[in-house]
Amino acid sequence: MAEPKKIALALPFIDTDATDYLAEVVNQNWVTSGGPTVTKFENQLQEFLQTEREVVALNSGTAALHLALKLAGVQRGDFVLCQTMSFVASANPIAYLGAIPVFIDSEKSTYNLASKYVKEAITWCLKQNKKPAALVAVHSFGIPCQVEEIAKLCKDYEIPLIEDAAEALGSKYKNQPCGLFGNYGILSFNGNKIITTGGGGALICKDAQKAEEARHLSRQAKSSATGFEHDAVGYNYAMPGFNAALGLSQLQNLKERIQKKRELHHFYHECFAKIEEIEVLTAPNAAYYANYWLTVIRFTGSNSTKNPERFQAFLAEKGIEARFLWKPLHLQEIYDEHHYFGAQNAETLWKTGLCLPSGCGLIKEDLNRIQQAINAYFSA
Ligand SMILES: Cc1ncc(COP(=O)(O)O)c(C=O)c1O
């Protein structure tokens, strides 16, 4: 009998016809970075976010974080506060600049920054006579962090706030899109994100002048159009036209994509409704509107035979992919000598959590297989 089709965690989902957008790029002969299609993509992102803030399309979310930190004035030796429970790209650009990440624990309700430990970290930095040069707050799995509270802390202490909204395009807090609370917001459009440009990202800037600087730095900081003169050490970070064309086609049904992700989250809620030891990570109240980029579950019981490792292996046997949460950054070999403020919440979440298939391309047949697998595992 043929093996059943593999159900992946989150495959790139390209259901809209990008042909016309791609043809436009070819016809304009603007296949390299920048150009009219990239501008169109930036304008449509701005429209989707309903913001006047400038959006700069780049070739990755990591590049956007790097530029955000640089424009925030982060320098070698500075402290930058950063969520420990995140993908490594949230912290690496701090290290690119020679700055020092100070890691902060998660709260249990959103898995994002716990403000209590943000305060502790700020106090500690001040005692070292070094006010943090920036704070990177992540909206993990598309669930907004307690962004109002975090933004207030940043305002009180005059610390630039950078929102890592790589996973949170379309998520909102009190009806305001994630990425628009801080001095800078970043988005990612890599293969597993809610829209994908192949590889790509965007930087959202509160200050239009900073957006200009970002564009300049992203194009090797060329100071003259004709010659090879450069007024800073720049980067090759601008988004190419083909990538923007892909993004433009998917922006056309972004609202439906978010709806699909939210339906999947609801599906998992129903699947686990009667399974006491499982908690489905859910936005804490109506102020939070999550795109539920990935649905995450957590094993809350002490049943040693039912745990994330065994469940993952059981699903894998059935051709269903599930993924562990990120190992907290302060426990990674590359960062384990850095300061950390918290109470091991992120460690518990890492050891007890599991991400379940959440691709927009999942069909009814896939969901039936997932549901059967869940029932079989938890009834055994
Ligand atoms: C939380 C988070 N931050 C940053 C990034 C980096 O984005 P990119 O892969 O586009 O560089 C990602 C995505 O992979 C992410 O999930």
Question: Residue 349: CB partners within 8 Å, gap ≥ 6?
Answer: 85, 106, 108, 111, 298, 325
Taking CA atoms only, the protein residue closest to ligand 1 atom 12 is 166
Sheet holding 295-299, edge to edge: 278-280, 295-299, 353-356, 323-324
Tell whether 225 and 326 lie within a shared domain: no
CATH of the domain at 180: 3.40.640.10
> Which ligand 1 atom is the nearest neighbour of the CA of 64?
11
Tell whether 371 and 238 lie within a shared domain: no
> Which ligand 1 atom is the nearest neighbour of the CA of 190?
10
Structure confidence at residue 301 (pLDDT): 86
Question: Which residues pair with residue 135 across a beta bridge?
Answer: 81, 161
Report if residue 283 sits inside a domain.
yes
Report if residue 181 sits inside a domain.
yes
Question: Which parts of the chain sit beneath pLDDT 50?
Answer: none
Tell whether 239 and 261 lie within a shared domain: no
Mutate which of 110, 143, 190, 192 for ligand 1? The one with the most ligand atoms within 8 Å of its CB, which is 190
CA–CA gap between residue 140 and residue 165 (Å, rounded): 8
Mutate which of 167, 189, 195, 196 for ligand 1? The one with the most ligand atoms within 8 Å of its CB, which is 167
Tell whether 140 and 203 lie within a shared domain: yes
Mutate which of 58, 188, 189, 218 for ligand 1? The one with the most ligand atoms within 8 Å of its CB, which is 188
Tell whether 228 and 276 lie within a shared domain: no
> Which ligand 1 atom is the nearest neighbour of the CA of 60?
10
Report if residue 7 sits inside a domain.
no
Structure confidence at residue 162 (pLDDT): 98
Domain boundary pick from 251, 283, 299: 251
Mutate which of 9, 56, 60, 62 for ligand 1? The one with the most ligand atoms within 8 Å of its CB, which is 62
- 3-state SS, residue 163: strand
Domain with 298, as residue range(s), is 254-379
CA of 33 to the centre of ligand 1 (A): 20
Question: Residue 373: CB partners within 8 Å, gap ≥ 6?
Answer: 314, 315, 318, 320
CA of 90 to the centre of ligand 1 (A): 7
CA of 4 to the centre of ligand 1 (A): 31
CA–CA gap between residue 22 and residue 19 (Å, rounded): 5
pTM of the model: 0.97
Structure confidence at residue 1 (pLDDT): 64
CA of 257 to the centre of ligand 1 (A): 19
Structure confidence at residue 17 (pLDDT): 86
What's the number of domains the chain is made of?
2
Domain boundary pick from 235, 251, 267: 251
User: pLDDT, tens digit, for every residue of 322-360?
Assistant: 999 999 999 999 999 999 999 999 999 999 999 999 999
Report if residue 262 sits inside a domain.
yes
Taking CA atoms only, the protein residue closest to ligand 1 atom 15 is 166
Tell whether 95 and 222 lie within a shared domain: yes
Domain boundary pick from 232, 251, 270: 251
Tell whether 246 and 120 lie within a shared domain: yes
Tell whether 60 and 173 lie within a shared domain: yes
Tell whether 221 and 278 lie within a shared domain: no
Copy the structure tokens of residue 181: 């609370």
Taking CA atoms only, the protein residue closest to ligand 1 atom 8 is 61
CATH of the domain at 309: 3.90.1150.10
Residues with CB under 6 A from ligand 1: 60-62, 86-87, 89-90, 138, 164, 166-167, 188, 190, 201
Structure confidence at residue 316 (pLDDT): 98
Tell whether 227 and 348 lie within a shared domain: no
Tell whether 261 and 198 lie within a shared domain: no
User: pLDDT, tens digit, for every residue of 295-307?
Assistant: 999 999 887 789 9
Structure confidence at residue 256 (pLDDT): 97
